[in-house]
Amino acid sequence: MQAIVLVGGEGTRLRPLTYGTPKPMVPIAGVPFLARTLERLSQAGIRDVILPAGYMPEQISDYFGDGSRLGMSITYVIEATPLGTAGALKNVEQYIAGPFFVLNGDVLTSLDLRAMMAEHERKGGIGLLHLIRVEDPSAFGCVVHDRDGRISAFVEKPPRESAPTNEINAGTYLFEREILDLIPAGRNVSIERETFPQIIAAGKGLYAYTTDDYWIDLGKPEQYLGAHRDVLARRMPMLRLEPGVSGEGAPALANVSKLHLPVHADRGVRVDPSAEIGPNAVIGEQTFIGASAIVRDSVLWDRVIIEEGASVDGAIVASGARIGRGARVEPGSVIGHDTIVGPGEVLERGSRVGASAPITR
């Protein structure tokens, strides 16, 4: 069994974080999201992985190499121009030998891949699509199927009151190789809008696999923060340590008097005992938090400096950024790489600060 992980997107909704980091390398509790995905594949016995990449691919290949240190084999295929989901699959056709998974590069899920393989064996057909149920399907693509799971229609972003179902495409597929014969080469092809309807029209078996697993699209800052809350609360099982203070940097928090769990801290963290940390704080490697500073409901990447008396609440702060003495960062703010927020500066709710995103207040 092989897997294709789609990592070519630019992550525009996560800017300015993705000005300096490709979306698959955005960290989840200190580890690149793509590494979390590859770990899941390895646990399912899948060692042969293909990465169609296009945006900052060297950061991905420099980190993972050929995959050998993970016990995997990784093949990189660089897209000169975006090819869409199906176009990306067609572009790596020469490397596909049999059935293969396709995983969206920005979906965090607890889906059991082995169970999905078994379901595909049972149902047969050209492919199996993972679906989840949501309260409001209007922002997603609804998938209509019969009692046996055979898919009959896709409805893109229907009004909530007229949605035919609350089951949506969750972005993990398991296909037979023959699906590649249906995809034209050399152009952008949408699998949802073009390939899937073609399969249905041709009468080939395309089946649904609906589960109640954890699932979230990491494409927006609020969802990225929400995913960390879920990881810390164990709603998404990922960290191997018990809830509370996790990570190699946990000892650095031992003397913090105002510590509100859960909190995750990576190695090399330094925190003044008078700081207030948490709940739902993730502190990256070599980050420093000064006296009387406050960090709550936020994700700090590596080498961040929070100076004395500064406050960061409900925000994301990328690597190398500095929040000046007495500055205040309000909920929904996103601060890009190496950005400096000056002493006493206030970033109002929803501000985005980075190389191409000026401070707004």
> Which tokens sit at 315?
């925000």
Strand partners, 283: 265, 300
Distance of CA 297 to the CA centre of its chain: 18
Q: How far apart, in whole angstroms, are the C-alpha atoms of residue 304 and residue 319? A: 6
Residue found under tokens 């697993």: 213
Write out the catalytic residue numbers: 157
Q: What is the DSSP string of 127-159?
A: EEEEEEE-S-GGGSEEEEE-TT-BEEEEEES--
343, 360 in Cβ contact below 8 A? no
Cβ-based neighbour number of residue 310 at 10 Å: 26
Angle at which helices 33-43 and 57-64 cross, to 10°: 50
Q: How far apart, in whole angstroms, are the C-alpha atoms of residue 193 and residue 23? A: 24
Strand partners, 225: none
C-alpha pair distances (Å), 172 with each of 34, 81, 82, 322: 14, 23, 20, 38
> Which tokens sit at 229?
């809350």
> Which tokens sit at 41?
């594949």
